Amino acid sequence: MSPANETALRRSGVNSQDLVARLRVGDRRSLARAISMVETGGPQARELLAAAYPYAGNAHVVGITGPPGAGKSTLVTALALEWRSRGVTVGVVAVDPTSPFTGGAVLGDRIRMQALGGDPGVFIRSMASRGRLGGLARATADAVAMLDAAGFQVVLIETVGAGQGEVDIARAAHTTLVVEVPGMGDDVQSIKAGVLEIADVFVVNKADREGADKTVRQLRAMLHLADRQPGEWEPPVLTAVATTSTGSAAIVDAATRHLAYLRETGLADARARHAAERELAAAVQELALERLRGQAWHDLVARIASRERDPYGSAEELFNALFHG
Ligand SMILES: Nc1nc2c(ncn2[C@@H]2O[C@H](COP(=O)(O)OP(=O)(O)O)[C@@H](O)[C@H]2O)c(=O)[nH]1
Ligand SMILES: [Mg+2]
């Protein structure tokens, strides 16, 4: 540990090894604190992630994405209850800022979610921080790692929308559920291409409404057009009424089958290697920027802006100073 890190840790009175040891034996306050620390990022977060790293990698990470109001949070609750009924522990990370987990719930949602309250086999966390270097995707992946290290067997990530940010977040998941609702339009274009690529399971929620069958047919027809190798995973299209937990068992079954498929085909290992590469690249970038952002950095930024210098030569100069200086 660098002297600067030691000072930072002493000041905050937190020892990463202790904190990880406590969250691993089920201390929820330590877990909450650890997630806050990784959300903030910086040297302390890295210490903590390093200490937790050997204990993570066991959870089945499941992303749930889809448009606002599709019923993702309600579905997360229903799925968590289903997994719990099978004796599986569940962590939840809600990235959706309008999520009822963060307080935006109508009464019915709160009542349903109370079914999860007080259960030591469930831990729900909403992501707050936006400012971290590397962004929300990194902070989310690190929060997932903490829940994973704490021993939660399934970790659910709720994200809204279909932008690049959500795709990045979904990459942290083994299995991605894409939630649609009936009446999304007759036009297949209304389903964003990016979402199609990341979907391992489609859920047509609000199947108590008119048009669910049609939406299912459209999705299946679209999936049929995709080129697939023999034996390749074909995303099932399932229906749900999240408010009554209808369809939860079939969704949990499909997610479980998808994980088995990833393991049997060796894709799970390949994904783990890809993830490791991304993590290493991100860590190198974070560390390099942190070390390089001194006075010389700001001088260079000003000179590059005025075209006195160019970014490539400047980067080389900074690196040379870092490694040989
Ligand atoms: N009719 C019906 N309403 C639902 C269903 N699932 C969720 N809702 C309602 O849809 C609204 C939005 O749900 P929420 O879970 O917050 O959606 P999110 O924005 O995707 O997380 C809430 O009022 C839910 O009670 C469903 O299957 N059928
Ligand atoms: Mg939500």
In a shared domain, residues 75 and 3: no
3-state secondary structure of 141: helix
121 and 214 both lie in a single domain = yes
Do both 213 and 80 map to the same domain? yes
pLDDT number for residue 85 = 96
Pick from 55, 82, 101: which residue ends a domain?
55
Is residue 272 situated within a structural domain? no
User: Is residue 273 one of the residues assigned to a domain?
Assistant: no
Query: Domain range spanning residue 305?
Result: 278-324
| C-beta of residue 275 within 8 angstroms of C-beta of residue 181 | no
> Does the residue 250 lie in any domain?
yes
Q: What's the average model confidence in pLDDT over 121-125?
A: 93
The answer as to whether 236 is a domain residue is yes
> Of all protein residues, whose CA lies closest to atom 19 belonging to ligand 1?
69
Cβ neighbors of 186 (< 8 A, separation 6 or more) are 218
**SS3 of residue 272 by DSSP:** helix
Number of structural domains the chain divides into: 3
Q: Are residues 104 and 203 in the same domain?
A: yes
First-residue to last-residue Cα distance in the chain = 21
Show the tokens assigned to 193.
């291409």
Residues 79 and 173 placed together within one structural domain of the fold:
yes
Residue 222 — very low, low, confident or very high, per pLDDT cuts 50/70/90? Answer: confident
Q: pLDDT for 153-188, tens place per residue?
A: 999 999 876 566 666 777 789 999 999 999 865 555
Residue 177 domain-assigned?
yes
> Does 129 share its domain with 188?
yes
Ligand 1 pocket check for 109: Cβ under 6 Å: yes
Q: Cβ(74) to ligand 1 under 6 A?
A: yes
Q: Decide whether any atom of ligand 1 lies within 6 Å of the 71 Cβ.
A: yes
Q: In terms of domains, do 151 and 7 share one?
A: no
What was the pLDDT predicted at 1? 47
Work out which ligand 1 atom sits closest to the CA atom of 209.
1
Instruction: Pick the ligand that lies closest to the CA of residue 95.
Output: 2
CATH of the domain at 223: 3.40.50.300
From atom 3 of ligand 1, which residue's Cα is the shortest distance away? 206
Predicted confidence at residue 112, as pLDDT, reads 59
- 90 belongs to a structural domain: yes
- Do 195 and 306 have their domain in common? no
